[in-house]
Amino acid sequence: MTDSDTHDISRRRLLGTAGAAGAAGLVTGAAGITAAVSEDGSANGSGAPGALTSVGATAVAFHGRHQSGITTPLQSRGHLVAFDLAPGAGRKEAAALLRRWSATARTLMAGGAPAEDTDVARDAGPSSLTVTFGFGRTFFDRTGLAARRPSQLDPLPAFSSDALDPKRSEGDLWVQVGADDSLVAFHALRALQKDAGGAARVRWQMNGFNRSAGATARPMTSRNLMGQVDGTNNPRPSDPDFDRRVFVPEGASGPQAWMAGGSYAVVRRIRMLLDDWEGLSREKQERVIGRRKSDGAPLTGDTETTPLKLDERGPDGKPVIPVNAHARISAPEQNAGAAMLRRPFSFHDGIGADGVPDAGLLFVCWQADPLRGFVPVQRKLDRGDALSPFIRHEASGLFAVPGGAAEGEYVGQRLLEG
C-alpha cells in the first residue's frame, strides 16, 4: 500500500478495518462481514470523540470465495446498473475494465477513496458497502468468449405477466452496489461509472432502498411496499444444502469451470399496482399471500418461521391457505424443492400524471442454476398466483456472477485470462 493509499483511508476515518495495513477485524459468518468497532463504540478502541458508529464502520471483505452482496445482509440503499461495451471494445478492453473496477471496489469497500475522488463520501466509513459484478449473455459474443458461455445463461422464457422494456433489460455487464448510507452507495456508483471511461456505457440504472439498520427494536425480516413481510422462506447459510442451491460448486468443469464459487442473478423490476392492492381488505390481502400481514406467520398459525400446513382445512372444508395463495405456490415443497435466495430492494420512482405511484420491487434472486431455481417457480406462479393481478414485470436480466477474486486477482480474471 502506498502512502497516498494510507492517507485516503485515514481521511475517511476508517481505523482498524479490513483493507488498512495491520487490520484487526474479525470476519464472521457466511456474509464475510468485518466489524471495525470496539466494545466502547469507538472505531479504534481509543474512545476518541466523534468515532464512527457501528453502522458506518462496518466493512465487508472484497476478496473471498464468493463475491460480496449475495449473502451479505440487506443494506438500506442499493443501485443496480447495467453497461454495454462500447463499439469496438472486446476482451482486452473488458479485462482492463474489470481490473479497474475491482481495484476501485476493493478500495471503497475498505473505506478508502479512489484517485481523483469527488469527496461525496468524505467523513463516512464503508457502511457495509458491497460491489458485485456479473456478465450478461451478450458479453460473451462481444468478447469472443461464446464457447465459454454457460447454458445457464440461455434466455429466460416469456411469462404472461411480462411487460418488459428491452431498454431497461439485460446488458453486457451488471453491477450491484449496496450500502447502509445513501452517499456511500452513490459515491461507489459514480466512481464505477467514471472507471468505465470509453470502454462501456450505461444501458440502464435502477435505484432501491430497504429499511435502515436500527429502525426496528429487534432484527426483523424486511417488508415490501405492499406492507408484507418479504423473505421468510429464504434459504439460510446454515442450511445443509445452501451452497448447493445458491452457488456453482467448486470443481465445475467445461464451459462453467470459471464460474466455480459463483452464482446466477435474475433481476426483475416488478411494478406493484398499489392502488388496486390497497383497495383490498386486510383479510383479502392475507388470503392472496397466504400469510398474516401483522407478523408474516402462515394463515395456519404460530410464528413467521412456522412451516406452512398446506393440508389444513377450515370449518368450510376449504384449505386455510388458499390453493392460489402466493406462499403456497412459491413454496419449495410445491416446486420439487426449487429454491432461490431472494435479496431485493424496493423502489419508488415518483408519481405519474394519473396519480399512480411508480413503485415496487427490484427483485434480485440468486441460484446455482436459474433453470432449477427461478424458472420453475415463476412458471408455477404464472399459471395461477393470486398476487399476479397486482404486479407487473417491467424489466428483466440474467447475469453470470463469477466467484470472488483471490488476493492479487480481479473479478472475472479466470474467464477473461483463462
On the 0-12 / 13-18 / 19+ scale of CB atoms within 10 A, 268 is buried
Burial 157-172 (b: 16+ CB within 10 A, else e): eebebbebeeebbbbb
Residue with cell 383479502: 284
Cα Rg for the chain, rounded, in angstroms?
22
Q: How far is CA 214 from CA 127, 219, 283, 360, 383, in A?
A: 13, 8, 30, 23, 39
Give the Cα separation of 322 and 325 in Å (integer).
Answer: 5
Give the Cα separation of 151 and 137 in Å (integer).
Answer: 10
Which member of 117, 230, 369, 385 is catalytic? 230
Stated length of the chain? 418
Give the Cα separation of 144 and 88 in Å (integer).
Answer: 12
409: left (phi over 0), alpha (psi -120 to 50) or beta: beta
Strands of 59-60's sheet, edge to edge?
Answer: 26-28, 33-35, 59-60
Beta partners for residue 270, in sequence order:
361, 393
Residue of 91, 138, 97, 110 whose CA lies nearest to 17: 110
Give the Cα separation of 214 and 185 in Å (integer).
Answer: 18
The answer to whether the CB of 180 falls within 8 A of the CB of 127 is: yes
Is 369 an active-site residue?
no
List the catalytic residues: 230
